[in-house]
Chain A
């Protein structure tokens, strides 16, 4: 009898331990969200979104230029990475059975695990040095290389899930392989591919390191991709290590905006992925 009680107690204890451990990964997330909202909410105002930063010592000002810059970087990085990433994913799922395909797959996986600052160095060598100055374009090159592996692998996996019978339905109508890929396979997997793109965007939008010596930062409005541009993570980085209280407060505000953006992207990706259960219905 005593033994049974002991076992039951052990069972309870194990369950409790697992519960506590399962909470561990959610704890930092809630702490971050709570902290960012608590410290950042006071900076949020219309002015914060649409104004330029003020010089140190002056009250107010905003991060409008950084928001524009981040959106500009995300957009141009997507323009570079999305077509290449999708085509590469299509290649891997449809054509690549042999060694070359395996090599591309490994390359994508290694790229995914590469420290982000390395992408900054690559973009510095490829773009900044030949151009002779920092630019939004070089930043988007760095971010695009970071997006690539996520898009490639998610596209490949989604397309692999599309049943063979759908390909055959199209081929049996006398449609050639390339049109089948373009008009049947990609549209069928589009929701999943979009999910991959959103996740890759969520990943790069918060990156600071690849921008340090590419996009560089810029305290003024800039809409020219060939000029340096501000970005939210750069603002957070610069303001947070500054000695000015006002700037530190604004760093929290910028963190809040950035966290919100990434959260929205992640949640939309999740919603899309859930919708995909019914195969693009």
Chain B
């Protein structure tokens, strides 16, 4: 079934995905998905478990192909350049990612975690510059006030919600064009979740966000655009308000009503 891509023509697309197929050992997990992801907006990828949401965003920074037996076919244009033909390492420097479970580097301090993107790449930063990047990233991630006095403690001392915001700061510190978030609140309590959602909305001023969520309400709260995936196919894509009020596909409607998922 052909996917309906209803991107608002006024928006500028940062990603254009064309006929994307993704496989695990020859078995397709993403089937011929095409969509345009608008710049400086929040796009939610929604759908029941096993529908290919996570696989889809892992294609966008080419983490998918690291899974043994996995492969990709199609085109993913980032500002008109096909990232499938670029060096994956360079792609990942432009496209940050936040994972389901907070994963700060356990051997590093909060400070070092934030500039890990530079340290691990062997980029030497001047002291003042590093300080500035750390503060800026932590402020953007709404964590600065909580950790400014304990920057040199291990990142793993923080609470789950704080760790996740630290991971967001780590991703932001390298100034990515896009931030991918793979169910970033699924391991967190409601209070931390609310804080992260607030933060996500705040962040779209500076970065494009693609967020995977199986939580319908979350997509409704944060996303400008929503894509509904089912069994590896893109069923419907459009402005969140439209998808939620007048879904065009009966499967979307059933999912929103909670019939499956």
Q: How far is the CB of B239 from chain A (nearest CB, A)?
A: 28
CB contacts (< 8 Å) of B63 on chain A: these are: 168, 171-172
Is B99 in contact with chain A by the CB < 8 A criterion? yes
Q: How large is the interface on A (under 10, 10 to 19, 20 to 34, 35 or more residues)?
A: 20 to 34
Measured CB to CB, the nearest residue on chain B to A97 is B68
The docked-state distance in angstroms from the alpha carbon of A172 to that of B100 is: 13
Is B61 in contact with chain A by the CB < 8 A criterion? yes
CB contacts (< 8 Å) of A281 on chain B: these are: 106, 154, 156
Is B96 in contact with chain A by the CB < 8 A criterion? yes
Query: Do B122 and A172 touch (CB < 8 A)?
Result: no
Measured CB to CB, the nearest residue on chain B to A163 is B103
With A165-B99, A183-B120 in contact, do A188 and B89 touch (Cβ < 8 Å)? no
Measured CB to CB, the nearest residue on chain A to B167 is A169
Is A117 in contact with chain B by the CB < 8 A criterion? no
Query: Do B93 and A169 touch (CB < 8 A)?
Result: no
The docked-state distance in angstroms from the alpha carbon of A179 to that of B122 is: 9
Is B31 in contact with chain A by the CB < 8 A criterion? no
Query: Do B106 and A173 touch (CB < 8 A)?
Result: no
Selected from A97, A170, A280, the residue in CB contact (under 8 A) with B120 is A170
CB contacts (< 8 Å) of B217 on chain A: these are: none
Is B23 in contact with chain A by the CB < 8 A criterion? no
The docked-state distance in angstroms from the alpha carbon of A172 to that of B98 is: 9
Q: How far is the CB of B123 from chain A (nearest CB, A)?
A: 11
Query: Do A168 and B103 touch (CB < 8 A)?
Result: yes
Encode contact with A along B98-127: 1 for CB under 8 Å, 0 otherwise: 011101111100000000110111100000
Is B1 in contact with chain A by the CB < 8 A criterion? no
Q: Which of A153-192 contact B (CB under 8 A)?
A: 163, 165-166, 168-176, 179-180, 183-184, 187-188, 190
CB contacts (< 8 Å) of A174 on chain B: these are: 89-94, 117, 121, 174
The docked-state distance in angstroms from the alpha carbon of A281 to that of B107 is: 7
The docked-state distance in angstroms from the alpha carbon of A102 to that of B117 is: 34
Is B234 in contact with chain A by the CB < 8 A criterion? no
Is B97 in contact with chain A by the CB < 8 A criterion? yes
| A169, A171, A187, A281, most chain B CB atoms within 10 A | A169
The docked-state distance in angstroms from the alpha carbon of A122 to that of B174 is: 52
With A173-B96, A173-B116, A184-B120 in contact, do A279 and B106 touch (Cβ < 8 Å)? yes
With A279-B156, A281-B154 in contact, do A172 and B101 touch (Cβ < 8 Å)? no
With A174-B174, A188-B105, A281-B156 in contact, do A180 and B120 touch (Cβ < 8 Å)? yes
Q: How far is the CB of A277 from chain B (nearest CB, A)?
A: 12
Is B170 in contact with chain A by the CB < 8 A criterion? yes
CB contacts (< 8 Å) of B170 on chain A: these are: 169, 173
CB contacts (< 8 Å) of B156 on chain A: these are: 278-279, 281
Query: Do A172 and B105 touch (CB < 8 A)?
Result: no
Measured CB to CB, the nearest residue on chain A to B100 is A165
Q: Which of A242-281 contact B (CB under 8 A)?
A: 278-281
Q: How far is the CB of B165 from chain A (nearest CB, A)?
A: 14
CB contacts (< 8 Å) of A278 on chain B: these are: 156
Query: Do A168 and B120 touch (CB < 8 A)?
Result: no
CB contacts (< 8 Å) of A175 on chain B: these are: 89, 117, 120-121
With A168-B63, A180-B120 in contact, do A190 and B99 touch (Cβ < 8 Å)? no
Query: Do B96 and A172 touch (CB < 8 A)?
Result: yes
Q: How far is the CB of B172 from chain A (nearest CB, A)?
A: 11
Query: Do A168 and B99 touch (CB < 8 A)?
Result: yes
Q: How far is the CB of B131 from chain A (nearest CB, A)?
A: 20
Query: Do A166 and B93 touch (CB < 8 A)?
Result: no
Q: How far is the CB of B103 from chain A (nearest CB, A)?
A: 4
Query: Do A172 and B119 touch (CB < 8 A)?
Result: no
Q: How far is the CB of A272 from chain B (nearest CB, A)?
A: 15
Q: How far is the CB of A104 from chain B (nearest CB, A)?
A: 19
The docked-state distance in angstroms from the alpha carbon of A176 to that of B66 is: 12
The docked-state distance in angstroms from the alpha carbon of A188 to that of B155 is: 13
Query: Do B154 and A172 touch (CB < 8 A)?
Result: no
Q: How far is the CB of A194 from chain B (nearest CB, A)?
A: 13
| A163, A172, A190, A278, most chain B CB atoms within 10 A | A172
CB contacts (< 8 Å) of A172 on chain B: these are: 61, 63, 92, 96-97, 99, 171
The docked-state distance in angstroms from the alpha carbon of A280 to that of B108 is: 10
Measured CB to CB, the nearest residue on chain A to B99 is A165
Mind listing 23 A-B residue pairs with CB under 8 Å? Answer: A165-B103, A168-B63, A168-B97, A168-B103, A169-B170, A170-B105, A170-B120, A171-B63, A172-B61, A172-B171, A173-B93, A173-B120, A173-B121, A173-B171, A174-B121, A179-B122, A183-B120, A188-B105, A188-B107, A279-B106, A279-B156, A280-B107, A281-B106
Known contacts A168-B66, A168-B97, A280-B107; 8 additional CB pairs below 8 A are A165-B100, A168-B63, A170-B116, A172-B99, A173-B174, A174-B92, A174-B117, A179-B121
